[in-house]
Amino acid sequence: MNTSQTNFHELSGSQGDHHLDLYIKALDSANSGIIITDNNQPDNPIVYCNRAFETITGYSRNEIIGHNCRFLQAQDRSQPERKLLSDCIEKGLDCKVEIRNYKKNGDLFWNELYLSPVKNPQGEITHFIGVQNDITARKKAEHDLIEEKASVEHKIQERTKELRENQIFLSSIIQTVRESLLVLDPDFRVLSANGHFLKTFKVSSEETVGKILYELGNHQWDIDLLKELLVKILPTNNPVIDFEVEHNFPHIGKKLMLLNAYRIEHDGQYKDRILLAIEDITDRREIERRKDDFLSIASHELKTPLTTIKGLVQLLQRMQEGGITEKYKATLMKVAVYVDRLNNLISELLDTSRIQSGNIELHIEPFDIDHLVKDTVDNIALTVPGYEINVSGKSGAIIRGDESQISQVVNNLVSNAIKYSPGSKKIEIHIAKVSNFVKISIRDFGMGISAQDKPRIFERFYRAGDIQKKFPGMGIGLYISHEIIANHNGTLWVESEVGEGSTFSFTLPISKK
Ligand code: ADP
């Protein structure tokens, strides 16, 4: 049994050699490895193998014939497929397995093995035919695919975990902020509400989440202004910032709220969701109101004794005649100056609170604006000798307004120009007619105003940080001036460069008549 050919002769009995050669050639030209084992011999040895089997395994026929197939498994004996194979052999059944085999040089190859028994007329198994294909490449591709899939799955898991963590992180931020936050779907159904909302409006999560905003708590959120914000304003004006709404809630009473709303516009799973932040400013407003009341009462109360002191000083001044010393006179003058200053400060405070409560009265009369500016400037110039204060230009216009208030504005602006120009003694005031407005500009060459301070100097009590200690003041002159000009339908603004100086300008509409 040295060559397959002899084997085959023996196997086939005395068929014609010619036919046999043909069959053998056919088998040898197959791509699959083919073997035949003899079941009647001990240990079921291989009695035939074709060329492809030699190529696949790397063994030559001489090394193959006579062996049991298991020699291909080398030491790799624990594969479950082996059990399947031996069961089929025992029961005489066809089977197909994919099994790890090893070539002569030790290389692993995956063998796709079809095994089928050959039976004699009595039904006894005489041989087995094994057809094998090297499917290593396919196995590798399969393996790579599995690995790839596992790696993708791993990445997805990681990403999902990251997303979940992000979500937890975000929701913990939302839960922590001291402002009420709601997330709504496009139909205004509440998707989530943070702890601050639940606490402020005394509701539970169950009563809130999943409900339409307007239906919450027995329709207590059915607020016209809120609807207007969400339905009319937000779709065209995203986001809506600091929208003030006052509402009387049945259980918690009247609340003043600042609403901030943002609709998510970019595509994605959160598109069209609405974030609604509700800041309860009821208490803050109340405190502001009390502060204003205090300001108004305090300045009013201060004014009364001061008026008396002023009267007494005037009385003393008139009593001077009879042999009073120069020193006494000078001291009295100083007292009068300080009393005036204090009087002005208190008047400003009073004005502030009047403006705040909308109680400022305008005594509207027509007046000559050029004349008013010059008069006011002349009066100030008297108090600051050595200053070069020039008024140029003219408008020739008549303004209808409160003359004393406009004078107060010019006074504030020129006084500031002096106060905030420690290194310069020059101030230029210009009067012009611009279209149907008068424009007054007060230019100084002093310290100037930084870009951060510029937008805020017209606020009540605002003073630029670095001047707090060096220059006295309460930060209300510009606020009052701004309000006065606004009440006269004009505008007041500033242009300034730090270190170069500032120009404050205001306009007033010219009376038609
Ligand atoms: P006050 O002078 O009492 O501080 P104002 O309301 O008149 O209050 O001015 C507000 C702030 O604006 C001042 O504190 C100062 O910082 C700034 N400011 C006003 N006028 C000038 C100016 N001409 N040059 C530089 N800074 C100015």
Number of residues assigned to the chain: 513
What distance in Å separates the CA atoms of residue 172 and residue 175, rounded to the nearest whole number?
A: 5
Q: Give 123's DSSP letter.
A: S
Q: How many domains does the chain have?
A: 4
In sequence order, which residues have a C-beta less than 8 Å from that of residue 438 and are 6 or more positions away?
369, 395, 397, 399, 431, 432, 507, 508, 510
- Reduced 3-state DSSP string for 446-509: CCCCCCCCHHHCCCCCCCCHHHCCCCCCCCCHHHHHHHHHHHCCCCEEEEEECCCEEEEEEEEE
User: From the CB of residue 440, how many other CB atoms can be counted at a distance below 10 Å?
Assistant: 27
Residue nearest to atom 14 of ligand 1 (CA): 463
Closest Cα partner for 403 from 488, 345, 482, 329? 488
* Together in a domain, 478 and 392: yes
We report the CATH number of the domain holding residue 497 as 3.30.565.10
Q: Are 200 and 280 in contact (CB under 8 A)?
A: yes
At residue 292, the pLDDT reads 81
* Together in a domain, 331 and 220: no
In sequence order, which residues have a C-beta less than 8 Å from that of residue 206 and are 6 or more positions away?
none
At residue 142, the pLDDT reads 92
Burial (0-12, 13-18, 19+ Cβ within 10 Å), 128: buried
Domain boundary among the residues 330, 354, 378 is at 354
Helix, strand, coil in percent for the chain, rounding step 5: 45, 25, 30
Atom of ligand 1 nearest to the CA of 468: 14
Each of the 513 residues of the chain gets a pLDDT tens digit; together they read 344 444 555 555 555 678 888 988 999 999 999 999 999 999 999 999 999 999 999 999 999 999 998 899 988 888 888 889 889 888 889 999 999 999 999 999 999 999 999 999 999 999 999 999 999 999 999 999 999 999 999 999 999 999 999 888 888 888 888 899 999 999 999 999 999 999 988 889 998 999 999 988 788 888 898 888 888 888 888 888 999 999 988 888 889 999 999 998 888 878 889 999 999 999 888 888 888 888 888 888 888 888 888 888 888 877 766 667 778 888 888 888 888 888 888 888 888 877 877 777 789 999 999 999 999 999 999 989 999 999 999 999 999 999 999 999 999 999 999 999 999 999 999 999 999 999 999 999 999 999 999 999 999 888 887 766 788 788 889 999 999 999 999 999 999 999 999 999 999 999 876
Q: Are 75 and 166 in contact (CB under 8 A)?
A: no
* Together in a domain, 263 and 299: no
User: From the CB of residue 464, how many other CB atoms can be counted at a distance below 10 Å?
Assistant: 18
Q: Are 50 and 30 in contact (CB under 8 A)?
A: yes
Using most ligand atoms within 8 A of CB, pick from 454, 457, 493 the residue to mutate for ligand 1.
457
What distance in Å separates the CA atoms of residue 54 and residue 60, rounded to the nearest whole number?
A: 5
* Together in a domain, 385 and 508: yes
Q: Are 237 and 262 in contact (CB under 8 A)?
A: no
Does residue 502's CB lie within 6 angstroms of at least one atom of ligand 1?
yes
Q: Are 352 and 479 in contact (CB under 8 A)?
A: yes
We report the CATH number of the domain holding residue 328 as 1.10.287.130
Residue 292 CA, ligand 1 centroid: distance in Å: 22
* Together in a domain, 161 and 247: yes
Residue nearest to atom 23 of ligand 1 (CA): 417
At residue 13, the pLDDT reads 52
At residue 467, the pLDDT reads 67
What distance in Å separates the CA atoms of residue 111 and residue 99, rounded to the nearest whole number?
A: 5
Distances (CA, A) of 392 to 128, 289, 299, 492, 511: 122, 43, 38, 19, 22
Domain boundary among the residues 311, 328, 354 is at 354
At residue 2, the pLDDT reads 41
- Which runs of E-coded beta strand occur in 233-310? 240-249, 253-263, 274-280
Does residue 64's CB lie within 6 angstroms of at least one atom of ligand 1?
no
Distances (CA, A) of 34 to 113, 133, 134, 135, 297: 10, 9, 12, 15, 113
Does residue 467's CB lie within 6 angstroms of at least one atom of ligand 1?
yes
Atom of ligand 1 nearest to the CA of 472: 3
* Together in a domain, 217 and 168: yes
* Together in a domain, 378 and 509: yes
Distances (CA, A) of 318 to 160, 299, 311, 402, 419: 90, 28, 11, 33, 32
Residues linked to residue 400 through DSSP beta bridges, in sequence order: 366
Please give the distance of CA 98 from its chain centroid, rounded to a whole number.
Answer: 56
* Together in a domain, 87 and 224: no
Is the pTM here over 0.85, yes or no? no
Q: Would you call 110 helix, strand, or coil by DSSP? A: strand
Residue nearest to atom 16 of ligand 1 (CA): 464
Does residue 409's CB lie within 6 angstroms of at least one atom of ligand 1?
no
Please give the distance of CA 289 from its chain centroid, rounded to a whole number.
Answer: 34
* Together in a domain, 497 and 400: yes
In sequence order, which residues have a C-beta less than 8 Å from that of residue 308 and are 6 or more positions away?
none
Residues linked to residue 159 through DSSP beta bridges, in sequence order: none
Using most ligand atoms within 8 A of CB, pick from 424, 428, 460, 478 the residue to mutate for ligand 1.
478
At residue 271, the pLDDT reads 84
Domain boundary among the residues 81, 104, 134 is at 134
Q: Would you call 149 helix, strand, or coil by DSSP? A: helix
Residues linked to residue 125 through DSSP beta bridges, in sequence order: 119
What are the helix (H) ranges across 110-200? 136-176, 195-200
Q: Are 180 and 190 in contact (CB under 8 A)?
A: no
We report the CATH number of the domain holding residue 235 as 3.30.450.20
Cα distance from N-terminal residue to C-terminal residue, the chain: 135
At residue 1, the pLDDT reads 38
* Together in a domain, 337 and 368: no
Query: Does an H or E element contain 2, and which?
Result: none
* Together in a domain, 384 and 507: yes
Using most ligand atoms within 8 A of CB, pick from 389, 410, 449, 503 the residue to mutate for ligand 1.
449
* Together in a domain, 502 and 413: yes
Range of the domain at 216: 139-280
